[in-house]
Structure 1
Amino acid sequence: MAQEEIDYESLPPNAGLSVNMLAGALAGISEHAVMYPVDSIKTRMQVFTTSPVAVYSGVGNAVTRISSTEGVRALWRGVWSVILGAGPAHAVHFGTLEAVKELLGGNEAGNQWVATSIAGASATTAADALMNPFDVIKQRMQVHKSEFRSVFTCARTVYQTEGLGAFYVSYPTTLAISIPFNAIQYTIYEHLKRMINPTHEYSPSSHMISGAGAGAVAAAVTTPLDVAKTMLQTRGTSHDPEIRNVRGMSDAFRIIWNRDGFRGFSRGLTPRVLTTVPSSALCWLSYEFFKAAIRTD
């Protein structure tokens, strides 16, 4: 029995990819669904607006004002977009992650940080190509006074009014966030996991602690890029001509700097970290659990 616990990560070759992809899909849905309301607050805090009603001083203030003016359900608006996209995207993410890590020797003894960093970057490049349109829809539905109540209505409207490019205008910025985010997160996660749990036994607490620590660092470092991404993905809902015509990451950075200086790049930092810490802990806990539970002996 002890040997079984020690070797739970050693998946047989004929089952590894399918198990990793299924575990990743289940982990992704769990992660995004649980923390979605805080993510909605993060999006609203990052959007540049002239409406005083849509300006929040903090997470608590946002919850109170949104709940009292729009109802608690507004915090969940658009959740089906991430549920529909998160499963397939995380399946691709974790399948690629484990495959590249194995290919580059990342499962060998020692701290294989180069292999794990490359594996993390490769995984997010593939997953974000699938997830980006769903993320655009999600943020269009999260903003203050969003006209959309249906994922499919939102997708159809964005396509008809702005074209297919609207779903991918933020993809370069998304990659600029996700590649360092996942490289940092996965490298720190693997390092912490090896340090906290050197026997490689199935240990939920070590997966949660490692995931939370890795997520916090990665979220904080990449917040400035996330502010730019939000501007690009919600530009079609803005009444500000300059924001509505923003074309790429450099345009977004210029607007943020001109309007808010350094402070503008930290918009939504607190809810982003608050979202990422538990969601990252839950994601890695779920992933390791599902990987162990559904593996084929």
Structure 2
Amino acid sequence: MATTVTTADYYPEIAVSSSTHDGLEFWQFMVAGSVAGSIEHMAMFPVDTLKTRMQAIGSSSSASFSAPVINLRQSLSSILKIEGLAGLYRGVAAMGIGAGPAHAVYFSVYETFKKSLLAHGNPNTSAVHAVSGVFATVASDAVITPMDVVKQRLQLKNSPYKGVCDCVKRVLFDEGFGAFYVSYRTTVLMNAPFTAVHFATYEAAKKGLMELSPDSVADDETLLVHATAGAAAGGLAAAITTPLDVVKTRLQCQGVCGCDRFTSCSIGDVIQSIAKKDGYGGLMRGWAPRMLFHAPAAAICWSTYEAAKSFFQELNGRTNPD
């Protein structure tokens, strides 16, 4: 069976055994990944909005070191009271545009590199999955980052943009094309440790769960095992990489709605700037909704991806019977 664990702000790490990997064509992996990614992000978008608001709040030019920290409940109450339910979904169109293609690229690149690497080594080695995941992440981040910039700017309180098209036009005209990739390096660097922590935690959690109930999973790893292990891995990896996610948010939202504009896009310089103004605690803002996003997102993305793969496998079997 295959496993999906969500990575970076947004991408799953898959460990697929050879029995389920074979039989699908390249475009089928792309479609399955696209559907899985879109459903995942649409379902969890309100939580992502809360995370963005909490991470960006400390970057206001009027903020001070002693600025109060807004917790998850306060952020949710504020949005619902002032903006209503629609406030939680502002920017969802941008993610809808970017998530499908990005996940299609992720899954297809992952499967392509994994298949190639498996032909020259042990199909169960962590190194194969990790290397494949790195290539997949670099490629998919290049696709998702511009829309992630648009999405986060639209998610901000009192966002000056009317919608996706207006945001794209104004950013391109006022800041140039480079503004869409100002956080790309940070995103890729964030996803590297995310993938490592996530994969290691996932394998350990899955092994532990299987040892607790060996009879029920001896022949087939159940959905519950994959979902539980994936949720644990996603939550832990999300918490550990929160500082880099905060840096990404600050870079993508700089100069908008009072957020600080940085003279340097260096990760180290941004971290120092945040720590100087908000304290090192500012680098952990939004950790709770980030964990709440990635834990269920892993289960959603995995189950959707596997369902799509099963559909194509059955379709291929009917089309090309033995």
What is the TM-score of this pair, normalised by structure 1?
Answer: 0.88
The CA deviation at 1:102 is 1.9
Partners of 2:99 and 2:163 in 1: CA distance: 17
SS in 2 for 1:28: helix
Partners of 1:171 and 1:158 in 2: CA distance: 16
Correspondence for 1:123 among 128, 136, 156: 136
The CA deviation at 1:200 is 6.6
| Aligned positions, number | 288
Which residue of structure 1 aligns with residue 85 of structure 2? 72
Q: CA offsets per residue over residues 131-176 of structure 1, 9 Å max, x none?
A: 1000000000001110123111111111000000100011000101
Mapped pair 1:233 → 2:244: no
Relative distance call for 1:192 and 1:21 in structure 2 (3 A) is: farther
Alignment of 1:101-116 (within 5 A): 101-105=114-118, 111-116=124-129
Is the CA contact (8 Å cut-off) linking 1:36 and 1:79 kept in structure 2?
A: yes
Larger CA deviation: 266-275 vs 211-220: 211-220
Which residue of structure 2 aligns with residue 170 of structure 1? 183
Q: What are structure 2's unaligned runs of at least 5 residues?
A: 1-16, 211-216, 318-322
Partners of 1:152 and 1:200 in 2: CA distance: 50
Q: CA offsets per residue over residues 84-107 of structure 1, 9 Å max, x none?
A: 110010011011112222222299
Mapped pair 1:208 → 2:219: no
Mapped pair 1:283 → 2:292: no
Partners of 1:291 and 1:226 in 2: CA distance: 31
Is the CA contact (8 Å cut-off) linking 2:47 and 2:289 kept in structure 1?
A: yes
SS in 2 for 1:239: coil
Which residue of structure 1 aligns with residue 236 of structure 2? 217
Relative distance call for 1:78 and 1:56 in structure 2 (3 A) is: farther
Alignment of 1:249-268 (within 5 A): 249-268=267-286
Mapped pair 1:139 → 2:152: yes
Relative distance call for 1:103 and 1:110 in structure 2 (3 A) is: closer
Partners of 1:255 and 1:95 in 2: CA distance: 38
The CA deviation at 1:192 is 4.5
Is the CA contact (8 Å cut-off) linking 1:29 and 1:86 kept in structure 2?
A: yes
Mapped pair 1:270 → 2:279: no
Partners of 2:120 and 2:222 in 1: CA distance: 18
Partners of 1:69 and 1:199 in 2: CA distance: 52
Partners of 1:100 and 1:37 in 2: CA distance: 33
The CA deviation at 1:33 is 0.3
Correspondence for 1:45 among 48, 54, 62: 54
Mapped pair 1:11 → 2:45: no
Identity %: 37
Q: CA offsets per residue over residues 30-71 of structure 1, 9 Å max, x none?
A: 11001101101100111122379x976221211111111122
Partners of 1:201 and 1:17 in 2: CA distance: 25
Alignment RMSD, CA only?
2.6
Partners of 1:22 and 1:143 in 2: CA distance: 31
Larger CA deviation: 106-115 vs 287-296: 106-115
Is the CA contact (8 Å cut-off) linking 1:106 and 1:116 kept in structure 2?
A: no
Is the CA contact (8 Å cut-off) linking 1:232 and 1:247 kept in structure 2?
A: yes
What is the TM-score of this pair, normalised by structure 2?
Answer: 0.82
Larger CA deviation: 205-214 vs 38-47: 205-214
One-letter code aligned to 1:45: M
Larger CA deviation: 157-166 vs 43-52: 43-52
